[in-house]
Amino acid sequence: MAQVLDGKQIRDQIWQEWKPRTAALKRPAGLAVVLVGNNPASEIYVRNKVKACEELGILSEKLTPPDTISAQELLDIIDGLNHRSDIDGILVQMPLPKQIDSRAVLLAIRPDKDVDGFHPMNVGNLVANIPGPRPCTPAGIMELLRRCKIPVAGKQAVVVGRSDIVGKPMALMLLHEHATVTIAHSKTPNLQEECRRAEILVAAIGRPAFITKDFIRSGATVIDVGMNRLNTPEEQTRIFGDAKPRSVIGDVHPVQVAEVAGAYTPVPGGVGPLTIAMLMVNTIQSAEAHQR
């Protein structure tokens, strides 16, 4: 029977380890979250992040400019946060409105306050394996693998997806832990065949239940990064059949994965809690560095 990798349990372990470090700070760590407009999914993510801050004793400040804000006005907000000594981390929730250049916004955040790990300086540190804030989702996955005692060194790993947020940094982190890594994506020929080689398969392609059992090597560890909503009963019946349906699923088929994998992350309750946990870790580490 496949092992279910419980992200909530690992998150709780991480929080218990980091609470004493939060308490030891000279002043509370401070995280500013900028949420532009009223994207419902983004609002849920931000609410969960603010709740995590409360549980760990991190001061959080939520800024909610309208979606009509100009690029310069948003850059001015970030500049103000860059200069505040009580703010250790700045997070700008994506996606941003069309009139805003997301790349310019990420560049505007001070690298030492970039708790998402997206600034080019921090990306360079990741490539060179130099300490610094790491993108939260891949970092959480590495914690999951380590704490669940799933070997990485010498293993064949396939990452499906090439985003700057998950796919690329995930591949680098696995490589730094001595896995042999393939990055696959929508243009990869023989995608099923590539995935079936994987002893560790990370799915981050953004398509509900796309990774079926035909993509999964028997006994593989399958990490599902996707978060997709099923909007119709027909979609739910197609995927779950007679089983009890769910309205939110990942990129991996939620029924078939249990038939083939050796271990897998559920959706929800797998990778998601660890993404927020690592955001908290990055914020606390930033506060420690600022208070040295």
171 and 263 together in one domain: yes
- The residues pairing with 62 across neighbouring beta strands, listed in sequence order, are 33
Residue for token digits 């080019």? 120
Q: Are 97 and 198 found together in one domain?
A: no
End residue of a domain, out of 76, 111, 146: 111
Residue 188, domain member (yes or no): yes
What is the reported pLDDT for 203? 98
85 and 190 both lie in a single domain: no
Residues 95 and 169 in one domain: no
Catalytic residue among 49, 113, 155, 168: 49
Tell me whether residue 130 is in a domain. no
pLDDT at 174: 98
Is 116 annotated as catalytic? yes
Question: Pick from 209, 241, 246, 239: which is nearest to 224 by CA?
Answer: 209
120 domain residue, yes or no: no
Residue 292 lies in a domain: no
CATH number of the structural domain spanning residue 105: 3.40.50.10860
Look up tokens 């983004």; give the residue.
42
Q: What is the pLDDT of residue 284?
A: 98
CATH number at residue 163: 3.40.50.720
Tell me which residue range forms the domain holding 186: 136-272
pLDDT score, position 222: 98
Q: Are 262 and 2 in contact (CB under 8 A)?
A: yes
Q: Distances in Å between the alpha carbon of 226 and those of 101, 127, 137, 220?
A: 25, 24, 11, 18
In a domain, 17, yes or no: no
What distance in Å separates the CA atoms of residue 189 and residue 271, rounded to the nearest whole number?
Answer: 27
Strands (E), the chain: 3-4, 30-34, 59-63, 89-92, 156-160, 180-184, 200-203, 221-224, 228-229, 248-249, 263-264
pLDDT of residue 137: 97
The reply to whether 98 and 225 lie within a common domain is no
Q: What values do phi and psi take at 236, rounded to 5?
A: -65, -40
Is position 65 within any domain?
A: yes
10-residue stretch averages of pLDDT, the chain, 292 residues long = 96 96 97 92 88 96 96 97 98 93 96 97 98 97 98 98 97 98 96 98 96 98 94 87 87 96 97 97 98 93
Same domain membership, residue 94 and residue 207: no
Residues 61 and 157 in one domain: no
Instruction: Determine the Cα–Cα distance for residues 197 and 179; give it in Å rounded to an integer.
Output: 13
Per-residue burial over 207-245, b if 16 or more Cβ lie within 10 Å, else e, is: ebbbbbeebbbeebbbbbbbbbebeeeebbeebbeeeeb
113 among known catalytic residues: no
Active-site residue (options: 88, 93, 113, 168)? 93
Q: Taking phi first (over 0 means left), then psi (-120 to 50 degrees means alpha), and beta for anything else, what does residue 272 get?
A: alpha
- Tell whether 178 and 255 lie within a shared domain: yes
Q: Which of 88, 114, 116, 224 is catalytic?
A: 116
State how many domains the chain has: 2
* Paired sense of beta strands 263-264 and 221-224, if any: parallel
Asked whether residue 277 is domain-assigned, the answer is no
Tell me if 161 is assigned to some domain: yes
Reply yes or no on whether 251 is catalytic. Answer: no
Same domain, 144 and 87: no
Residues 172 and 258 in one domain: yes
